[in-house]
Amino acid sequence: MLSHFHVYVPAIPRRRLAATFLSLLVSGGFAAAAEHPDDPTTLQQQIDALNLRLQAVEQTKPTVSGGNIQSGLSFGAYGELKFGLQQNADDNGHWQNGFDAARVVLMPSYQIDDRWLFKAEIEVEHGGIAFDDDDKSGGAVEVEQAYLDWTINEHLHWRLPGIDEVAFGYTNLNHEPVFFYSVQRPELAQGLIPTTWYTGATSVHGILTGPINYQFQISSSIIDNGGNVRDTTAANGPAALGYPAGVSGNEALQLARPTNGDFKQQNNTIAYAFRLDYRVPAISGLAGSTSIYHSPNIVPRGAYASDSNGVTIDSLGHCALTMIDTELRYRPQTEGLELRAEAVGMSFSNAANLRANNDGDPENNVGRTMWGASGEVAWHFRLPGSRWELVPFYRYTHAVFQTQGFAVRDDNLPTGAGRLDFQTFGLAAFPNASVVLKIDYQHVRTGSNQKPNADHLLGGVGFFF
C-alpha cells in the first residue's frame, strides 16, 4: 500500500531551485495560453501520434499491396539535458550541483520503396568523447540502431542483421524522454534491464492478430564481463589479471551489455527474445507488453575465478540467463488519471559460475535470482485555453539485485546495498507533444545499515521529433 511509505526529504541547499523551476513551468504555460487559445488537440493525442511514428517500422509499415510510398531521406532527433543537485556517496553524501548533456541523438531513415526501409540511431552521450587533457567531455558516440527492414506483409517483416534494440521491456524500446515523466529513466531500466540495450541482432515482427503485435529476435548474448573492450585478449576473452563482473549484486546487469564492435564478442552464444505488445479493446486506454529473453550461456570464454589480487584460481563453467518482463499502462483518452505498473525477474541457472561470486570481493555476490517491481500514478491536466499539459506523478520501485544463501569461492557478505527502494515524485510539463520540461525529487533507501546518500533534485529538458 502506498500509504505505508514515508518520504524523508533532507535539507537541501539552494531550495529555490525547485520553486524557480516550477514558476517557470507555470508562467510559461499561461504565456502559451495566449498564443493558442482555441487549439483542441490534447497532449495524449499528440503523444499517440508521436508513438505511432516511433513504432512505424514495427507496426505500421505498408503491406505489399500498399499504395504509393514516397521514397526519401528523413531525420528525427531526441535529446535530454539535465541539471540540478544530487548527493555524492563518495563525498559523504554532500549535495553537489551538476549539469549533464545526457544525450543528443540523430535518427536518419530512408524509405527505399514500399518494401524496404533503412533506419539508424546515432547518439552522442554526456557531451561526447574527450581525447586531450584539456577536454572536458567524458561521454561516448554510439550507433544504437542500424538496420534494413523488409516488409513482406503486415503480419511479417524481416529486420535484417544489424544493430537493434533488444526486444525486451517497454522503456528499452521507448526510451525517448516524452514517454516517461521522471528526469532519469525509470529505475527498472537502469540495471535489471540494461537500457539502452542494443546489440547485433535480426528479427521478424508484425501484427499477430488484431491489437496484438509480436517480435521474435536472435542476438549476441549478454556477457558476464564488465571490462572495456580494449582489455579483451587476442583470444577474445577477459583480461588476464582480473576483470570486473558484468553481473553483480551492486549493479545488476548494467555492465553486461554485449560487445558490438570489431568481432570482439566473448562467447559463441546466441540469445533469443520474444515480445508481445498489446492493447485491450474492451478497456479504453489499457495497453501493455510481455517480453522473454533467454541466453544459454552468459559466461565469457576463458572466464576464471581469482583472489582479491587478481591471481587466477580456477576456470568457470556455463551459466544460462532467463528474463521475463511484463508491464501495463492505463491512460483513457481524457484528462485525468494514468496508471503504470511493471515487474521484471531473472533467473541464473548456475550462479556459482558468475564472476561476482569468484572475484575475491565478498560484497557484490549474486544469488540465483534478481527481480524488481514498480507502480506509478500520474494526473494529467491542461492549462485552460492552452496547449500546455501538466503531469504531476509519483513512482515507487523496489529492486533486489543481491540475495543470500549461496556458498562459492567468495565469502557471502551481502551488504544490503543491492536491495533498493526508490520513491520519485515530480512534475512533467508538455508545451506540446515533442517537448517536455521536468523536475523531480528522488529518495533512495537500501537494505544496508548505512544511508545510500543517492537522493537527487533534478530538472530536465527533453525533446523528440
pLDDT at residue 317 is higher than 90: yes
pLDDT band of residue 67 (cuts 50, 70, 90) is: very low
pLDDT band of residue 448 (cuts 50, 70, 90) is: confident
Evaluated on CA atoms 354, 356, 358, 364, the torsion sign reads negative
Q: Which pLDDT score is estimated for 57?
A: 37
Residues of the chain above pLDDT 70, percent = 84
Query: DSSP secondary-structure letter at 48?
Result: H
* Burial of residue 146 (number of CB atoms within 10 Å: 0-12, 13-18, 19+): middle
Q: What is the dihedral of CA 189, 193, 196, 202, to 10 degrees?
A: -140
pLDDT band of residue 404 (cuts 50, 70, 90) is: low
Q: Which carries the bigger pLDDT value, residue 6 or residue 344?
A: 344
Partner residues linked to 445 by β-bridges: 421
Partner residues linked to 116 by β-bridges: 150
Q: What is the mean pLDDT of residues 142-161?
A: 97
Q: What is the mean pLDDT of residues 454-458?
A: 97
pLDDT at residue 160 is higher than 70: yes
pLDDT band of residue 63 (cuts 50, 70, 90) is: very low
Window from 11-20, 131-140, 299-308, 416-425 with minimum mean pLDDT:
11-20
Q: What is the mean pLDDT of residues 147-164?
A: 98
Q: What is the mean pLDDT of residues 244-271?
A: 94
Mean pLDDT, rounded, of the chain: 86
Q: Are 400 and 418 in contact (CB under 8 A)?
A: yes
pLDDT band of residue 405 (cuts 50, 70, 90) is: low
Q: Which pLDDT score is estimated for 148?
A: 98
Q: What is the mean pLDDT of residues 20-41?
A: 42
Half-sphere exposure of 436 (CA within 13 A, CB side): 32
Q: Which residue has the cell 557478505?
A: 413
From CA 257, how far away is CA 223, in angstroms rounded? Answer: 6
Q: Which pLDDT score is estimated for 1?
A: 35
Half-sphere exposure of 196 (CA within 13 A, CB side): 21
Q: Are 234 and 283 in contact (CB under 8 A)?
A: no
Window from 15-19, 229-233, 314-318, 350-354 with minimum mean pLDDT:
15-19
Triad 90, 93, 97: Cα angle to 5°:
90
Q: Which pLDDT score is estimated for 45?
A: 55
Q: Are 34 and 181 in contact (CB under 8 A)?
A: no
Cis amide linkage into residue 196, ω under 30° from 0: yes
Q: Which residue has the cell 528526469?
A: 183
pLDDT digits 0-9 by tens, 205-229: 999 999 999 999 999 999 999 998 8
Q: What is the mean pLDDT of residues 186-207?
A: 96
From CA 52, how far away is CA 439, in angstroms rounded? Answer: 27
Q: Which pLDDT score is estimated for 12?
A: 47
pLDDT at residue 199 is higher than 80: yes
pLDDT band of residue 411 (cuts 50, 70, 90) is: confident
User: What three-state secondary structure class fits 436?
Assistant: strand
